Structure 1
């Protein structure tokens, strides 16, 4: 296993209380451990109504709860609210990944996160979404800044969790903890498009609940 030295983290304004929007355990594992190492008092906010179907949603959420409990980190389980997500996605069903449907999705999730932060006294919010190489960091940061704009005293932390070895640590933590390894972004349209691509290249279709990271794959 490779050893990395994490940089010291300083949230905006030197604040030490942060609300972390988490999309899943693999993406948030490094973010969580990095903030703990820097002495940041944070709470996880799990609001991801995009994840489909229900079994996939529960697998991702339960893995995140397990890891939060392991570290003694508070976990806010927000409503699933999938009907609202589908209503907002109407007309965007065939938009590509990183397009306007993803912007809508990030906006929706961050708006709810920002509201909770405002109502519960968090001066800073951030998200684990940006650590994934499949995501557009500028798109995510723009959604984060829009979400906090209505609330005076609330900041969105635009930290690049990929830098300084963060992406490598994310994978190592996932293997160490043997997290569930999701094979698509999360929404039903991502599942559809990923399976379509797999058919085109002769790969098997996604089997929900089958693939997990393995400790044996650690260097």
Structure 2
């Protein structure tokens, strides 16, 4: 199991979660390292709403099975669309993705600050389809808005976590989506 170095030696982190499959091995790794995550599910980018609900219910199922706290962020797809307006034709890993990550991680940072967390991270950094540079940039920008808050730039792709994700996907029979979530990534 990957040995983690949590900023400031924290034992409690807010984990922004995009879905159960991506979260599963990360949560398991955190728990193995005596770090208790609170899962923050904030994904207004997911479209259609039915897809969002399926992904959310799978995340809740996994988190509740482990006895962890799950926070359901607001689903406001219209607000998300306003945030990325003019970037609809951008390619994957383009400006739209950076803006999407920034929007979602700023909401995560806001929640973390209000609820007494000093460290937050994201499962977005587990996907080989996403740019780590964009994710880490978005996280750092979000954290700057809140004093005493650190974005934990952890590459969740390494240490066997990708392989373990695939095992847990089968073990829990997770719904496994085939696109990022937004209507533009379905192309």
What TM-score, normalized by structure 2, do the two folds share? 0.98
2:106 maps to what in 1? 111
Q: 2:78 aligns with which of 78, 83, 87?
A: 83
SS at match of 1:188: coil
Instruction: Give the CA deviation at 1:44.
Output: 0.4
Q: 1:183 aligns with which of 147, 155, 178?
A: 178
Instruction: Give the CA deviation at 1:84.
Output: 0.4
Residue 45 (str. 1) matches residue 51 (str. 2): no
CA distance in 1, matches of 2:158, 2:125: 11
Larger Rg, first or second structure (1 or 2): 1
Uncovered stretches (5+) of structure 1, i.e. residues with no partner = 1-5, 194-219
SS at match of 1:76: strand
Instruction: Give the CA deviation at 1:111.
Output: 0.4
Q: 2:157 aligns with which of 157, 162, 165?
A: 162
Instruction: Give the CA deviation at 1:42.
Output: 1.6
1:208 maps to what in 2? none
Uncovered stretches (5+) of structure 2, i.e. residues with no partner = none
Instruction: Give the CA deviation at 1:166.
Output: 1.1
CA distance in 2, matches of 1:86, 1:183: 21
**5 Å matches for 1:1-219?**
6-191=1-186, 193=187
Q: Which digits, 9 at most, give the CA deviation of each residue in 1:93-131, with x for residues without a partner?
A: 110000000011000000000000000100100000111
Instruction: Give the CA deviation at 1:9.
Output: 1.8
Instruction: Give the CA deviation at 1:172.
Output: 0.9
What TM-score, normalized by structure 1, do the two folds share? 0.84
Instruction: Give the CA deviation at 1:10.
Output: 2.6
Over 2 Å off, 4+ runs: none
